[in-house]
Chain A
């Protein structure tokens, strides 16, 4: 809502505050002023001039040489506007004037003839093209004949105005009108309000002789009032009205249309003017449109209607889409003689449906959708009649023809001072509350600390105690509320064990050198099914898709964090950032239904992706590319931290390197995978070798036992033995390790691979695996014989199970 302060001055006295002060006060009281526009901030020295003479420029076809009387002097000005003519009153920027854009007017010579100033168009004076009345769009502006020569043109055009831009919350639709804003300002400044004139002389002729009103569905249209105004002369509306409309962001058209728009802005009540003679009957029927019926709206669009849409008809065909837009067939034109004026209350939801269906958000629909003041509907009609009579030569017929089942009762809200203070934490007195209600222009009865308030219907947002708490508090001033802390029994706040654990997991990965990312949960349909861990894939019947995505890129809920993470790597690599180590903790969305009807399971997972070099130190010629075992080491570190033992086995997974991918199991439970991304997929993302991991954090947390118990530090020495075995090259070290533990007995505490060799000293198809075994008994010193016994048992077992030979 744009509020012209010059316009506002008609209703409240604001001369004692500057625009900035007023804006600050309005903002602090509850309606945010998003900006102040000073229309002609940079203009000066523009006056009204009378074009005494106007002839062709001797040396240029398209220019005119004018003698202009500007009051105390006469200026010779060259003007190129096509509509310049002798006898006009025009806006003249005198030499020394400044126009918007810091355009300075100087004396000049144009094609050899002197020109002392400029005759201005509205655009040149800073008015946006779209608000300029059509007749002046391509030329200069012409003042009414009775305008005083030499007067300040900027002031006459209301360009000395300041315009406040209000950012209205949906509840404050009352401030979608100048009167509503005036009430608000009156309460803030504690000044009286002056209401506009609504009384109009009516002819003896009865409006009801010319029209009848029938409403089919009172729920959708509880009030419809029709006025008939004869003898209309369509022409331009008065300059002040055009100025106000422009300030409010509405383009002036003609007096009839301008008056309906003016009253819409003044009262917040949309009106519609039909050309009575084109209406097609003497009967107004408001009804639901027939299914499939069409009508042409004022914007010349053919609209296909359904029974969801409320229309005004002449009994046969629609003449307006109720509350949204009028029909082309009954549009007011320059020849209109009799106006049929509609002032109605349409159901907000019905108007919203129509404006949404047709994509038509108008000043009218916006107000109806939010609910207009039931007590202002008819008054707005009368106000328009008064203006039509005054500015369009109208003769207002007697009476309003109406259908009226509208509830116009005021809401009653009871408050007590003590309850108010309890809720606010304040110490406001009865008198202060009374004073606030008076400022707000709310009627009330007071009995000690009890107030019974009649809330004016313009304030549709107030109906319960809490609404009045806000109303009192905002006029009292939120600034004046004290600062207190809650008095309730205090509880110890904190993180739950799982929340704590989640933070620790993140810290672990960061300590391990990975950077946290946050990627989008909504991904493309293709990516949603990429690199999904087997245990997720097994439980997810479908990927969850949005009903109406904004783009294919963000249409589907992710089943893995990895695809968007790879996209992030790709983004960086494209920007020459090639060494990357990322991790993310987040949810994936698993639905077990073919057609989604229930909320999907949201599974917490941690994923990581690494590419490029890891730990480089160029001048020492050290360079390590990320590889499988780096990533595995990071994952193993997490398991160590969580005190979890995991197994790894080869995994074939689409999108992953077939020989370099492992599924991770805890006992028999699959919890994720690690490995290298398949070279083809790497290529698709323009990535070099990239290694990833993806783990089910929900499961890891569910088996994590946080009971740190003390393990005695061993007092007896341990014994180490090395064992190097020659085995088949396809044998997994992990399998040999399992055998060693099993055969070695309880004294074997650790088995560590310290060498893997394959090459010229070995038979082809064989490799050597060297293990270091650690023997320990925490209770006593070990005997050589028992270690030897265990060692021999291991040798026998690995030979039996893996055909492993001791390396000679």
Chain B
């Protein structure tokens, strides 16, 4: 019987070895380990054995069963692993095919620039003020020391609606309105971004509608060096720490002294190139110390309060910063332009 069991084991293991599929294994399992299988049969015949032989053969029979079962399990695992591998191989994708696109929107470049400027000044304690785009002649001109007939009104030919109403030509009226709102007895520290309008024929460098950000700081003991310090900080944050600024005297009816600010040209590092017309400097904004008449008209006593104001054009800044070559790009809304400037 011992021989018979050993022969069965050898025979079964050979079959396991040869089995190619999971169902082969199942057949082998049923054939050898099933209730009707040869090992069970052997065990059934044990009654004929002597008392001494019985446990020995019993043990052997169990061992044989165990060995076959282990081999079956091992083989099953192997076949399953191979099967999985085969399946996964079949599932292989062309990873170079394009992914499913996600619809992505984004802000207009001008909005990005304006918000960047807003955030820089918020960081310096400024608040943001807004005002109407259709303004009165008073707030747009007169309150800013530009009485009717003033020659400087020529500088900004305007779109009038009636004799007293016009499309604002700058966002400065918001400054006059804010000073009025604060009634001449508390400091003003604000910037006012917004759309403005001038009688210009649209071309590569002119637009009848454009954007301005102006700023105003009114307090006791404001110095021109404060203006220089604030603008310097702003310019370096916006254009990079390695930029230099310079102020030049200029003229605006609402400031005295007035300044124009240049930054050193990034393209040539101040050496002079076609972008800066060989000067090494690029004009970026205008400003100055608030004219005493402007303070007075807004209800601030110029003997007690003074301040500084400045204004800049985000289009120009965007054009310099990103090399945009035509101001009309900002308003035609060509999708190929809009898409270029979506920051994360």
Contacts and interface: CB of A to CB of B under 8 A. Distances in A.
A509 B105 contact: yes
A616 B97 CA distance: 14
B239 interface: no
A515 B338 contact: yes
Point out which of A516, A522, A554, A582 has the most chain B C-beta atoms below 10 A from its C-beta. Answer: A516
B289 A466 contact: yes
A170 interface: yes
A619 B101 contact: no
* Residue of A29, A30, A503, A619 ringed by the most chain B CB atoms within 10 A: A30
Contact of B159 (A35, A495, A522, A589): A522
B151 A370 contact: yes
A729 interface: no
B249 interface: yes
Interface string B298-313: 0000000010000000
Interface in A196-211: none
A169 B260 CA distance: 12
A483 B225 contact: yes
B214 to A, nearest CB: 15
Interface stretch (A39-47, A257-265, A376-384, A595-603): A595-603
A549 interface: yes
Interface in A299-340: none
A719 B67 CA distance: 54
Interface string B212-230: 0000010111111110111
B33 interface: no
Contacts of B189: 491, 493
Given A170-B152, A485-B230, A571-B334, A516 B111 contact: yes
Interface stretch (B2-10, B39-47, B129-137): B129-137
B14 interface: no
A425 B228 CA distance: 10
A470 interface: yes
A506 B111 contact: yes
Contacts of B121: 493
Interface in B290-344: 291-292, 306, 330-336, 338-339, 342
Interface string A509-542: 1111111111111100000000000000000000
A511 B336 CA distance: 19
A481 B128 contact: no
Nearest to A472: B257
A550 B336 CA distance: 29
B132 A599 contact: yes
Contacts of A486: 217, 219, 222, 226, 229-230
A479 interface: yes
Given A487-B221, A516-B105, A571-B333, A547 B162 contact: yes
A546 B161 contact: yes
A32 B248 contact: yes
Interface string A593-624: 00011111010000000000011110110100
A518 B199 contact: no
A171 B155 CA distance: 12
B338 A516 contact: yes
A599 B247 contact: no
Contacts of B197: 521-522
Q: What DSSP secondary structure best describes chain B's contact surface?
A: mixed
B105 A514 contact: yes
A554 B306 CA distance: 40
A22 to B, nearest CB: 14
B259 interface: yes
A483 B229 contact: yes
A168 B336 CA distance: 40
A488 B221 contact: yes
A482 B165 contact: no
Interface residues of B, number: 90
A520 B200 CA distance: 14
Contacts of B151: 170, 348, 352, 369-370
Contacts of B118: 495
A467 B249 CA distance: 12
A699 B306 CA distance: 38
Contacts of A348: 151
Given A479-B246, A596-B165, A599-B165, A423 B224 contact: yes
A600 B134 contact: yes
Contact of A520 (B104, B154, B331): B331
Given A495-B128, A550-B201, A518 B330 contact: yes
B208 to A, nearest CB: 6
A509 B126 CA distance: 27
A515 B335 contact: yes
Interface string B127-152: 11010111110000000000001011
A7 to B, nearest CB: 24
Contact of A547 (B97, B160, B292): B160
B195 interface: yes
Contact of B124 (A172, A487, A493, A615): A493
Contact of A616 (B101, B104, B228, B230): B101
Contacts of A739: none
Contacts of A616: 101
Chain B CB within 10 Å, residue with most, of A484, A489, A554: A484
A426 B128 CA distance: 30
B249 A470 contact: yes
Contacts of B123: 493
A762 B108 CA distance: 50
Given A467-B256, A599-B165, A580 B335 contact: yes
A484 B217 CA distance: 14
Interface in A554-610: 554, 557, 565, 568, 571-572, 575, 577, 580-583, 587, 589, 596-600, 602
Nearest to A491: B125
Nearest to A601: B132
Interface in B182-217: 187, 189, 195, 197, 199, 201, 208-209, 217
Most buried by A among B106, B224, B256, B335: B335
B108 A517 contact: yes
Contact of A423 (B110, B155, B289, B339): B289
B223 A483 contact: no
A474 B225 contact: no
B333 A568 contact: yes
> Of A470, A491, A517, A587, which is in contact with the most chain B CB atoms at under 10 Å from its CB?
A470
A30 B161 contact: no
A718 B102 CA distance: 33
Contact of A425 (B103, B225, B232, B251): B225
A313 B156 CA distance: 36
A464 to B, nearest CB: 7
Interface string B257-273: 11110000000000000
Contact of A169 (B110, B165, B226, B250): B250
Interface of A: 27-30, 32, 35, 169-172, 348-349, 352, 369-370, 422-426, 461, 464, 466-467, 469-470, 473-474, 478-479, 481-496, 499, 503, 506, 509-522, 544-550, 554, 557, 565, 568, 571-572, 575, 577, 580-583, 587, 589, 596-600, 602, 614-617, 619-620, 622
Interface of B: 97-98, 100-108, 110-111, 115, 118, 121-128, 130, 132-136, 149, 151-152, 154-155, 159-162, 164-165, 167, 187, 189, 195, 197, 199, 201, 208-209, 217, 219-226, 228-230, 232-233, 246-251, 256-260, 277, 279, 289, 291-292, 306, 330-336, 338-339, 342
Given A30-B250, A484-B226, A599-B132, 8 more contacts: A169-B250, A482-B229, A493-B123, A510-B105, A510-B342, A515-B106, A572-B335, A577-B335
The 5 A-B residue pairs whose C-beta atoms are closest, nearest first, are: A425-B225, A513-B103, A470-B257, A30-B249, A425-B223
24 contacts: A35-B277, A171-B251, A172-B251, A369-B151, A370-B151, A423-B289, A464-B292, A466-B292, A470-B256, A479-B247, A484-B225, A495-B128, A510-B342, A513-B105, A515-B339, A517-B108, A521-B195, A545-B161, A583-B105, A587-B133, A596-B161, A596-B165, A615-B101, A616-B101
